[in-house]
């Protein structure tokens, strides 16, 4: 890891830690809990509903922040606000661990 990346990772940990729940995140539990997300976000975290974003490969920090924002009302969406209301801190940690652990690859389009 180069200097910038390790400093960035350290900074991210400092930012992310206060938002982390006490319970350790469990990828397997997250996979099991993600069943209710798949109709829109896809079984592999690549969205199947046209208005839903991909979750696969997103950072734990981002996923946690967004789910807590939906749950807390700072971010609003007809469906996600209701879904997030039913999630505990542990659920959010597990779900974030699962979706962030999915590996995604990107292929850039050929542009002349
Ligand atoms: C009925 C469809 C539906 C289901 C089921 C659903 N979502 Fe969503 N989700 C959406 C849509 C649509 C958005 C985009 C919201 C917006 O436009 O602000 C979204 C946004 C999100 C975001 C923010 C992503 C970003 O890029 O900002 C997260 C995180 C998320 N959903 C997680 C989940 C999780 C975890 C579950 C299961 C517990 C779940 N969703 C279930 C439709 C759904």
Which residue in this structure is represented by tokens 């839903």?
Answer: 52
Would you state the pLDDT for residue 14? 46
Task: Examine residue 106 and state whether it is found in any structural domain, yes or no.
Answer: no
pTM, two decimal places: 0.84
Rounded CA separation 25/34 (Å): 14
- Given the CA of residue 54, which atom of ligand 1 is nearest to it? 26
Q: Containing domain of residue 90, as a range?
A: 3-101
Task: Examine residue 111 and state whether it is found in any structural domain, yes or no.
Answer: no
Rounded CA separation 56/53 (Å): 9
Q: What is the CATH number of the domain that holds 30?
A: 1.10.760.10
Would you state the pLDDT for residue 6? 56
Task: Compute the mean pLDDT over every residue in the chain, rounded to the nearest whole number.
Answer: 88
Would you state the pLDDT for residue 112? 87
Q: What distance in angstroms lies between residue 84's CA and the mean position of ligand 1's atoms?
A: 9
Task: Examine residue 74 and state whether it is found in any structural domain, yes or no.
Answer: yes
Q: What distance in angstroms lies between residue 6's CA and the mean position of ligand 1's atoms?
A: 30
Determine the average pLDDT of the residues in 50-69.
Answer: 98
In the chain, the number of structural domains is: 1
Task: Examine residue 7 and state whether it is found in any structural domain, yes or no.
Answer: yes
Q: Which of 30, 33, 52, 94 to mutate to test the pocket of ligand 1 (most atoms within 8 A of CB)?
A: 52
Would you state the pLDDT for residue 15? 47
Task: Examine residue 84 and state whether it is found in any structural domain, yes or no.
Answer: yes
């Amino acid at each position: 890891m180069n200097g910038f990346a390790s400093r960035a990772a350290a900074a991210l940990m400092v930012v992310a830690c206060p938002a982390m729940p006490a319970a350790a995140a469990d990828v397997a539990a997250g996979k099991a809990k993600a069943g209710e997300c798949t109709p829109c976000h896809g079984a592999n975290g690549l969205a199947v509903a046209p208005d839903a974003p991909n979750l696969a490969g997103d950072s734990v920090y981002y996923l946690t922040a967004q789910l807590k924002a939906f749950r807390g009302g700072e971010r609003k969406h007809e469906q996600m606000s209701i879904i997030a209301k039913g999630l505990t801190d542990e659920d959010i940690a597990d779900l974030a661990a699962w979706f962030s652990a999915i590996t995604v690859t990107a292929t850039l389009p050929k542009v002349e």
